[in-house]
Amino acid sequence: MSSLTFADVTVSYGKRQVLSGFNASIASGEWLGLIGPNGAGKSSLLRAAVGLVAHGGVVSVDGSSLSLRSRSQRAALLAYVPQSPILPTDMTCRDYVLLGRAPHVSYFGRESKHDRAMVDDVLTQLDLSSFRDRYLGELSGGEAQRIVIARALATEAPVLLLDEPTSALDIGHQQQALELVSTLQREHGLTVVSAMHDLTLAGLYSDRLALMHEGNVVAMGSATEVLEADRLAEFYGVRVTVHHEPDGTVVVVPRRS
């Protein structure tokens, strides 16, 4: 259970600034959805948070800055699911999920019995026990996504960062993966930040949305507040109709011009 704060976070590649002063406080157990067209800075923000790209400003967990922490301390706080995770085809699911324990193992150490038991626990929780000895190369897209989430969960990090977690999945598996994250958010009190392309799904699962454009946040708030047809037209350059369902769901439907 941890809160995550971005204070004036900037990222530049060479002279080009791709993220200009991102500010947000994500409460413990909250899910923030990052939306915006390609190149808006969503992935850069996530990569900055986990230390893959240099950044200005401060990212802190529970009020303490991550830049003061070691790599493994940072890894124990933030679990990161990249857009296209590398899945070595000849690695077993169990060995892959065991990699998630790395932040808790010392440099010359090896995984303890506890670490291995933890992996079996995670696999059971995610209904993946039967996959233990299967090779990653044998998994379908949906199964692979669940194994990647299992690895993130095995880190026991209180904050989960997902970069386009469903971009390679069909609609059924998209929903399944997001339901899984949602369950984990509820049951483990995980704080979640996800970059997403599907606006309807983003609004459906996130507690709050941040719409980004060219490195800036142009709107932040609930799905109803952020997902307005005019605004989406302005920043995505598309024509859409926004429906509000009786249960509060906001549905974004593209239209032909």
Partner 1 sequence: MTTGQRTAAWLLGATVLLMVSLLAGAMFGPAGPPPWRVPLAIIDRLPLISIDSGVSDAQWNLIWTIRFPRVVLAALVGGMLSLGGASYQGVFRNPLVDPYLLGAAAGAGLGATIAILHLRDVTDWPVDPTPLLAFVLSLATVAATYTVGAAFGGNRTGATLVLAGVAMVSLTTAAQTYVLQRNSEVVREVYTWILGRLVNASWADIRLVAPYVILTTVILLFHARHLDLFRVGDDEAATLGAPVARIRLIVVMAATLGTAAVVSVSGLIGFVGLIVPHIVRLLAGASYRLVLPLSLLLGASFLILVDILGRIAIAPSELPIGVVTAFIGAPFFIYLLRTKRVAV
Residues in touch with partner 1 (CB under 8 A): 50-52, 70-76, 78, 80, 82, 85-91, 95-96, 99-100, 102-103, 105, 108, 110-111, 155
Residue 146: closest CA among 119, 161, 127: 127
Residue nearer to partner 1 on the CB measure, 73 or 140 = 73
Smallest gap, in angstroms, from Cβ of residue 79 to partner 1?
8
In the complex with partner 1, which residue's Cβ is closer, 33 or 103?
Answer: 103
CB of 181 to partner 1, least distance (A): 17
**For residue 12, what are its two tokens?**
């530049």
Nearer to partner 1, 105 or 251 (CB): 105
CB 71 within 8 A of CB 155: no
Give min distance, CB of 50 to partner 1, in A.
5
Cα separation of 153 and 143, whole Å? 15
Q: Cβ 131 to partner 1, closest distance in Å?
A: 15
Query: From the CA atom positions of the chain, what is the Rg in Å?
Result: 18
> Closest distance between partner 1 and the C-beta of residue 3, in Å?
20
* Residue 14 vs 172, nearer CB to partner 1: 14
Quickly list DSSP for 175-209.
Answer: HHHHHHHHHHHHHH--EEEEE-S-HHHHHHH-SEE
Residues 226, 25, 196, 186: is their CA dihedral positive or negative? negative
Strands (E), the chain: 4-13, 16-26, 31-35, 56-61, 64-65, 78-81, 159-163, 191-195, 208-213, 216-221, 240-244, 250-254
Min dist. Cβ of residue 21 to partner 1 (A) = 23
At position 111, the amino acid (one-letter code) is E
Nearer to partner 1, 143 or 207 (CB): 143
- Would you say 72 or 216 has its CB closer to partner 1? 72
Distance between CA atoms of 101 and 257, rounded to whole angstroms? 50
